[in-house]
Chain A
Amino acid sequence: MSNTFLSIERLTQIFPDGAGGTLTVFENASFGIEKGEFVCILGHSGCGKSTIMNILAGLAEPTSGVVKMDGFEVSGPSLDRGVVFQNYSLLPWLSALKNVTFGIKARHPDWSKDRVEAHAREFLAKVGLEGEVVHRKPSQLSGGMRQRVSIARAFANEPKLLLLDEPFGALDALTRGTIQEELLKIWRGTNQTVFMITHDIDEAILLSDRILLMTNGPHARVAESVDITIPRPRNRTEIVEHPNYYAIRNHLVHFLGERSKALAGKASGGETQSPATVRIDRTAPSATEEDAEGERRLRAVND
């Protein structure tokens, strides 16, 4: 695990619980992310997903444990780790274009004004924002457009790791669908490593190479890492026809519905908590027979 691009090693977060005691959100959590991978993390509210995200972004400090990127320990926020926040976090006094150039200027202080603007317009165009609309203030944009600007700002900086904190949580289902596809489109061209939090199972399957599943807190852990064995490029309508889609989906629903509770609340006892790799592939030659109970045919490989 030491040679992966991003490795999270024995990460522990303990908060005071307000009554003199402590609350262990998660302990000794360890997992890795490969370069160019799109990884989603799924789990119930309060399991510590956002805490992990904030630690990766450098906005919060873990109680113990380290995060290494490219072999170096990270501490504090950095332009190498771009963040798209759930509430967009655009600066409301700047136009859409100025919000993007704000990021690029921070990344490339030596670039000329024209180059910065051209780069910003290029990435805004990639998320479908062109023409007059880029001069509008965030308050004059719809929620979907604001999140597009926020995504453009993050991608325009070409960070080594892109962190998306429930980026589509506040959007309606139709807008969400469109922007998911735009996100896939912009991501495909960049080979960007992405780590994303979501509540939405279908969104996670559509977007990710791998889904990390978290048990409920306290003492939450990243219990499983589910490979999404559906080839790319994917789109929303075709992906549901793939034989693996519902098998994977059922597994995720089961996990979130029952096993996330069953596995919850156990202290690690000092053990490193690594996720078990789960690979569900109905197209593989060994899994030809049709079985009513999808769960039984899982090949769970613990490493």
Chain B
Amino acid sequence: MTLDPVILSRLQFVWVVAWHILLPAFTVGLASYIAFVEALHLATRRPIYLRVSNFWIRIFSVAFGMGVVSGIVMPFQFGTNWSRFSLATANVLSPLLAYEGLVAFFLESAFLGVLLFGRKLVPPWAHFVAALMVALGTLFSTFWILATNSWMQTPAGYSLVDGRFYPQDWLAIIFNPSFPYRLFHTVVGFYISTGFVVMSVGAWLIRDRRFAEEGRFMLSSTLWLLLVLVPVQMELGDLHGLNTREYQPAKLAAIEARWDTGTRVPLTLFAIPDQEHATNRFAIEVPLLGSLILTHDLNGEVKGLKDWPREDWPPVIVPFFAFRIMVGVGLLMLAIVVAANLMRRGGQLFARRGLLRALEWSAPLGFIAVLAGWTTTEVGRQPWTVYGLLRTADSVSPSLTGWNVLLSLLGYILAYLIIFPAGWVVMSRFVRRGPEAAPTVEPIESGRPQAPVREPPALSSGEGAA
């Protein structure tokens, strides 16, 4: 068996990004939630908001630190494994990625320290501003990363000279056709992922009884939020789908396992797509629904993969199932959120231990949906790195052999299997300790300052955490 450096490089990228994406999926939403709770505290000065905010800041610091450490790996992947992609796209994509780094570094150094260590050193409004700026910083990072990713999906604003892309119009590059849809769909997805975690922890705190008041606040606030966000996300997903149909019809055909172009097409609920024979086995279909959902018209036309040469087909089975997992999880989340909100009537929400337990178990749902959605869009982009213009097979570093990549991949697998469970253990410990009024241990994060540093009483301006 020969080892293929392209497949292995893709696997390596999948491995390091899949783990890394869990952290922004959590910290982007959590930063905003912390800012929200800080705002409540600023407005009402009720100490419960302070305890809840401090509790989540402690957990945020660990997740953020791990995000920084695992994030360093990412820019190097472009060089080590995808040097031909890097060379071809650098003129267009490098400033977007560099701006992400600059903005993140700027906000990190300027405001994270205040958020983590400045509680006693700055007035409440300044602490709220710091929380708001950190939340904005995570959103800016998301903005630049998704602008880059979207440009790979729907390139615009460039000229192509001798196999390299050159910028023609920065606004067109950044706000490329799929970017707004991807940005909102992803951010809302991150918010929902965080919402389910906060809700789950809130449910556990209620059952645990030590911090039931804080738990009720967390559960109640996130349930209202999710009641809005989950349906909004479905609408955004629908819009994103229409955008995909327009700009990446082959991806849509793969998602739907549609081989032949047709009008009044059915919706395939389940099937085993057989790429070799270009057909579906064991298909369960609903007539007409495919056209209705995908085109918002019963007579709408949906392209089939046979319209494209085979070498341009994405692998069908992965996006087909990943998409169904995402939608399935989304429907499950909707059911949970609606059911839990209905239970508010008559005060059953906080009293039913079975319900609380179910909410606890729903914590990973958002992450599953994020990973499934990411898999759908990235595998559906294949066989291209820049859609329709640069093939994945032509993007990899020419010097790499299969065993080179296998060796590094094994290294990353081993490292992440140690680091991420360890980080999980540390964060779980913070959760179990609960939102104590005076934490026995000061906030610490591997990220910025002071793993070991206590709040420095001897220093007048300890927010210099950075």
Q: Do A and B come from one complex?
A: no
Chain B residues proximal to chain A, CB less than 8 Å = none
Chain A residues proximal to chain B, CB less than 8 Å = none
